[in-house]
Structure 1
């Protein structure tokens, strides 16, 4: 069951990343806190990152690396928010 849950979580993350391209305006208010300049470009970059990391988490062979990538990504985003307060 854990494998299935990890796969679902990975696909949800990848889906959220894809949503950055379909409706970037939805993500701009949140992204502006971390990326006040060139916000729209950062929305797209973050979307691409989430697609890649979500796919890695969804895959059995890449799951551990994907989780490590997600942790690093979350830490980096948090540091960007704090730096732009």
Structure 2
């Protein structure tokens, strides 16, 4: 199950590079400045975390990283609430 989730997360991260315009509105909520650059950065992070989830050897690190990443993104959205309007 976590292996599949990792593959999906890595695929979503890769999609940030193939179609960044799809992810820009989402990224803007957390990163109203330099949104496109943050779209690419978030894509790279998601690829790395997703790949970490795909193997047993790195899965625990991937889970910890994904939890930290989710918390960090949520804090960025809260901090920038209203800035992207």
- Structure 2, unmatched stretches of 5+, are none
Q: Please tell me whether residue 83 in structure 1 is matched to residue 83 in structure 2.
A: no
* TM norm structure 1: 0.94
Structure 1: gaps of 5 or more residues: none
Count of aligned positions: 81
The alignment's C-alpha RMSD in Å is 0.4
Q: Which residue of 1 aligns with 2:60?
A: 64
1:1-85 matches, cutoff 5 A: 5-85=1-81
- 1:60 Cα deviation after fit: 1.0
Q: CA deviation at 1:46?
A: 0.2
